[in-house]
Amino acid sequence: MTPATSLSARFLDARIPPTLRVSTTRSLGGLGMQCPKCSSPNVQKLDLFWKSLPAESPLRATYAPPDEVASQVLIALAATLVGIGVAVSGAILLGLLVAVGGMVFGAVNHAGVERYRGQLADWAAARLCLACNGLF
């Protein structure tokens, strides 16, 4: 059986590829990061920078997170159910129109919510260079 010390010694001997080292420093919140444009180490996470701005700062609008798109799934579901109810009660064309309208509204709203979530994730992951104002 191999003693545990030889296992840890082998691990320390292993050379860490540079790409892995970069991703490790990024996951620690940007410690030791440089701006890709001007090579300045004066880099901050965009969301932390934005939260630290005073309320009257004009930069709050410039670097604000994307506007939230609220999920309207209950309205879309209610419109679809009302449409089905109207169609069953006799006004078939009107009922189908309301039901299809509810489904289309739901699909468009869902796409908007997904887009917002992607933009918010990008914003939260972005870094701001305090030397050249570059975002990356």
Cβ proximity to Zn ion: between 40 and 119 the closer is 40
Least Å from the CB of residue 130 to Zn ion: 8
User: What are the tokens at 74?
Assistant: 């209950």
Binding residues with Zn ion: total (CB under 5 A): 8
Nearest by Cα to 82 from 107, 67, 100, 65: 100
For 40, 45, 49, 64, 135, the CA distances from 37, given in Å and listed in that order, are 8, 16, 19, 22, 9
Cβ proximity to Zn ion: between 104 and 132 the closer is 132
The DSSP secondary-structure symbol of 129 reads: E
Candidates 7-15, 36-44, 72-80, 114-122; binding stretch for Zn ion (CB under 5 A): 36-44
Least Å from the CB of residue 133 to Zn ion: 7
How far, in Å, CA of 12 to CA of 21, rounded?
14
User: What are the tokens at 84?
Assistant: 């089905």
Candidates 1-9, 15-23, 34-42, 44-52; binding stretch for Zn ion (CB under 5 A): 34-42
Q: Is 129 in the site for Zn ion (CB under 5 A)?
A: yes
Task: Name the 3-class secondary structure at 35.
Answer: coil
Identify the residue among 26, 30, 40, 126 touching Zn ion (CB under 5 A): 40
> What's the longest Cα–Cα distance across the chain?
81
Candidates 13-21, 29-37, 48-56, 57-65; binding stretch for Zn ion (CB under 5 A): 29-37
Task: Give the binding site for Zn ion (CB under 5 A).
Answer: 35, 37-38, 40, 129, 131-132, 134
